[in-house]
Amino acid sequence: MTSGSPLHLAVALDGAGWHPAGWRAVDARPAELFTAAYWRDLAVEAERGLLDLVTLEDGLAVQSTDPHAPDDRVDRVRGRLDAVLVAARVAPLTSRVGLVPTVVATHTEPFHVSKAIATLDHVSSGRAGVRVRVSGRADEAALFGRRAFPPLVHADDAPPEHLQVRTDLLAEAADHVEVQRRLWDSWEDDAEIRDAATGRFVDRDKLHHIDFEGRWFSVRGPSITPRPPQGQPVVAVLAHGEEPIRLAARAADVVLVTPRDAADAARLVGLVRAAQAEAGRGDETVHVLADVAVLLDDTAAVARDRKARLDARADGEWTGDDAHLVVGTAVEVADLLLDWRAAGVTGFRLRPASLPHDLIGVTRALVPQLQARGVFRAGYDFSTLRGHLGLPRPVNRYAHA
């Protein structure tokens, strides 16, 4: 590998892929989307490609073409398995790749999420993370019946009350992460004695109340799950604007951004670094991964033809949603990644258009291309996700000096 920081590579797994007609591709497996074997195969393939991690998409309502409201379409993948449970199922079937399920903080309790992710870290031997997102959708709030949102205007010129809802959701998510982190530390590393002769399983003095009191949560603790192997599982946040970037820089280890080009990537990295310093984390490692949608084939012409067939089945052109889309060869994708890397991003989260086709394109064509250029690992050097990302294992905040 060339000198300098290693390139970090993740893949975002969602259904049959990110193209709305991906499930209709000739090599797709739509009949298996709700089976453990399908997700096992994807995770194993990601590990074959030496990827740092996979993220697993999730939500609280049936997917919709409109990201802010439900629709009645039946020609798209609809329905998901729970991302945390999928990650826990495939964890024993892999040994190195990081597993980062998505959790919606808005309608979940941080105590429950904390112990679920801690459990995932235990069953994966230190490869767990969590991607935290928020939801201001009225239909999703109605599923729980505990709060209500007006149909929000998602624009910078939205009414002040709508902007305040968005601000509150992000602040709530920041507290959600803080409660999770404190609970992960609520057991000291050596709290478990497990001495059958004396009958002492745990040292109660090394379990701690976190006594968190905030606007949205009041959590005493401690957790019921011992401290995770990583100490703190990796937290990721997808940030589309300046306000979400401030949340991510305050709470996350990995910030996911969606640049349009290299100049935009440099701008977003600058925003993250400024927000990181403002949050008092200037000396910490916070990764900025750029999301890029990919549709890969041996030649650009074949890739374009495949996209055209998928677009025709979707009755419209797919442009990659909120992420920049590359339709072409592994060489072309590698060129773009290195160009954007020079802008300051520390890695990429790739969104395969069709699964498993474009995941295999990443692992068996793009990864060798990056290895040949000396910018990606030839083998795993670590067994934990924090190790892959070069993140130290944090000291327990409650441990006695």
Dihedral-angle region of residue 258 (phi above 0 means left; psi in -120 to 50 means alpha; beta otherwise) = beta
Residue closest to 305 by CA, chosen among 297, 315, 316: 297
pLDDT at residue number 67: 83
Residue extents of the structural domains in the chain: 8-154+229-388
Q: Are 372 and 338 in contact (CB under 8 A)?
A: no
Q: Hey, what CATH class is 8-154+229-388 in?
A: alpha beta
pLDDT in tens, 12-65: 999 999 999 999 999 999 999 999 999 999 999 999 999 999 999 999 999 988
Residues 209-247: pLDDT tens digits?
A: 999 999 999 999 999 999 999 999 999 999 988 999 999
| pLDDT tens string 281-301 | 999 999 999 999 999 999 999
d(CA 96, CA 50): 8
pTM of the model: 0.96
Q: Tens digits of per-residue pLDDT, 344-357?
A: 999 999 999 999 99
Q: What is the pLDDT of residue 313?
A: 96
- Measured CA to CA, the distance from residue 224 to residue 187 in angstroms comes to 9
φ/ψ region of 126 (left if φ > 0, alpha if ψ in -120 to 50, else beta) reads left
